[in-house]
Structure 1
């Protein structure tokens, strides 16, 4: 759609997915770094849900482009002219992203899908977007061409990063770089809508002014800086939440490690009994001091036999 909503809709889609990636990739990185299996049970399900949502976004985009009141309504050619080719180009862009979402779901649902095919199809979808936009603004005013050409840097940069991820999968640097470009792409779509179609009835930009072209270039750099700040904030938030101890781990910790019992800290010596042992009980080595009841003589183990024989003779 050649209006503000036609640029705000894809910008919102890219921005939502970019914000989710800014949280998902650091979370996956920290758990893989510790070789923890706590995330693996739910990660595959999250990937399937994300792919389904991205496919839904693409289908919504196709329906909006085709069935708006002034849309083509699935008519490509009528009598002697093409019907709303700009809407058809946008629909083609959404179609490739829908195929990418379906391929992502198949990757995690079917084990026979080659690893890396999901990244390759997503790279092709991004390249298709850039290819369409490259010929989207020919014979347009200079400012219109310039702000769309700036968008191509983010699109082709993301396609290149995805192509490298086919080989270097789960590389956190490439994933964060791709996420920053997707955030930039989302915010820049909104900026294009404000420049070409002011939504609040403000003054229109001079499409032939070189100063406006210079400002748009500088504004593009500011957008990327904002995307990097968002990415850094998300990374720091995930890192802080990952390091903070959970309440359950504190409750499960044994109390002896933090509050040691005083009885265990200093063991008491054994208490000696004051009751004299039986005269016929074998002495325990080493022998203790003689008891007065025994007449000062200590009974040793060697005298046990003679004492028993004497007692038998007396009986």
Structure 2
């Protein structure tokens, strides 16, 4: 990947910070409960009945119209939809089937994850993802009226998620070094994938401390998936060695960089909002 100004600036800031990739996140067990909901009369759907993409489940069959107040370059709402059982009183179910991480804002109102896919469950079991975040592949139920709930895109965790996705895209479709194998148990490739997500998160955090806001998100991804010496590169290469010792043919770091780089380039238009300052707001009515 060519070295652009965004990547240059991220690298410059990161070099002055040292390697504290755990920065506010550690590889520890994280709860998937977003708030204490005991004693609330509204039933909780642990697994939504017959859920299909873009379709409200029977428990919350009514679609809610989304509104947005945002600057230019905000992330698309594609894959984000809201449902309820009562359009006036709630509760509100928000389903995230897109590629952006969203923060739920509902002061004083309890909320809880009611559904998440296997990749999200795997990540949350290993990383202390803040509980109010709605990751791609997740749904959250908020006990509030529709007008009392809003969501904001979370840039740093969206960068981490994009880096994780780039890593999955880098793996082979067949063999013993695949996305499916990476999320089983304490697979060394899975640990490397998490390292790459947190490396991008760290780069974004340190670059965001710079007074110049341009280019942080894509620059963090570019530097993470490059020939530079980073924790992502070190942990990926370590996983290569462990997989080789077990008789598997690993996806070598150089190959991973080329594939991840290709995915980032294909996704550049969708990810461009990461470099645009401002806090979009999504509401309901």
TM-score by length of structure 1 reads: 0.23
In proportion to residue count, which structure has more helix? 1
Point out the structure with the larger strand share. 2
Q: Which has the larger radius of gyration?
A: 1
- Using CA pairs below 8 Å that are at least 6 residues apart, which structure has the higher relative contact order? 2
Give the TM-score normalised by the residue count of structure 2. Answer: 0.25
